Amino acid sequence: MKLGKINRLKVGRISQFGTYLVDDENNEVLLPDDFDAEVELDELIDVFIYLNSDDQYTATLSKPFIEVNKFAYLQVKDVNRVGAFMDIGISKDLLVPYAEQTEEMFTGNWYLVFMFVDEETDRLVGSCKENEFVFFDEIDVNAGDEVDLLLYRKTDLGIYAIVNNLYKGLIFSSDIHKEINLGDAIKGFVKQVREDGKIDVLLEPLGYRQSIDPTCTIILAKLKEADGQLFLTDKSAPEEIRKVFGLSKKAFKRGVGSLYKQKQLVILKESIRLI
């Protein structure tokens, strides 16, 4: 039975206190009667295991926002003398002690948190010290690879992201051509892996052949939404193009050129129009 994880357990017995679940080694955990679903003996169900206020293993059918050894973007529910308590989607909040904070944390604000099992107390603990939980060597991704991103901090350079729950990445402001927000879990593409172990990330695939089809799809979709004609051309301001398509002007011009060659649109003096 794994603490801080989703476990598939068997219904062992049902009592006045709730439903007792067992794992393959006959370890038992209580699922309190705080759910509407009906369960039967020997049924297999998926539950999240956490420690209750008495430090006892407890099960819940609620799906948490985070699991052990993973990052998540979480909101502070309360702050007191021991630290910040994060909402993780279950009845028990996750404590981020002051020793694991990198800045003052305020109720209602959102922060990147890594959850782990404290070796001394065997309790689930959160930390905002992301550099201690990512790898800067033996990077197992290469330029062009598609990766999972969790966006968590905006700076003058761009937006920082956790890559594949393992590495630290940065999307430069100049490479952001569509609306994205902190906390978004999205796909991205490796631009390069730097010598310091940090990763430069793109929101679109590398190379013309890889990116032209998605770009054309975006342009065609926007044209169809606008009844076949949009008053934008390669002379339009980059800001106008980005606002409508979420694309850079360079990508827009490349996509329009490709669609023109495919005879799917015509380029007029002040607009583009579907054929």
Q: Which residues contact 72 (CB under 8 A, 6 or more apart)?
A: 65, 66, 88, 112, 113, 115, 150
Q: Where in the chain is the domain with CATH 1.10.10.10?
A: 208-274
Residues with Cβ within 8 Å of residue 153, at least 6 apart in sequence: 112, 159, 160, 182
Tokens linked to 218: 């975006």
The 10s digit of each residue's pLDDT in 189-215 is: 999 999 999 999 998 887 655 556 788
Does the domain formed by 70-131 have CATH 2.40.50.140? Answer: yes
pLDDT at 10: 96
Question: Does the pLDDT of residue 266 top 80, yes or no?
Answer: yes
Average pLDDT over residues 175-183: 88
**Candidates 2.60.40.10, 2.40.50.140, 3.30.1780.10, 3.90.650.10; correct CATH number of 146-202?**
2.40.50.140
Fold classification of 208-274 is: Arc Repressor Mutant, subunit A (1.10.10)
Within the chain, which residue ranges are assigned CATH 2.40.50.140? 6-60, 70-131, 146-202
Nearest to 269 by CA among 240, 239, 231, 227: 231
Average pLDDT, the chain: 93
Q: Looking at domain 6-60, what is its CATH homologous superfamily?
A: Nucleic acid-binding proteins (2.40.50.140)
pLDDT in tens, 209-263: 555 678 888 999 999 999 999 999 989 999 999 999 999 998 899 889 888 888 8
% of the chain surpassing 70 pLDDT: 96
pLDDT of 192 reads: 96
Q: Are 49 and 3 in contact (CB under 8 A)?
A: yes
21-54 confidence digits (pLDDT tens): 999 999 999 999 766 667 889 999 999 999 999 9
**CA 127 remoteness from chain centre:** 17
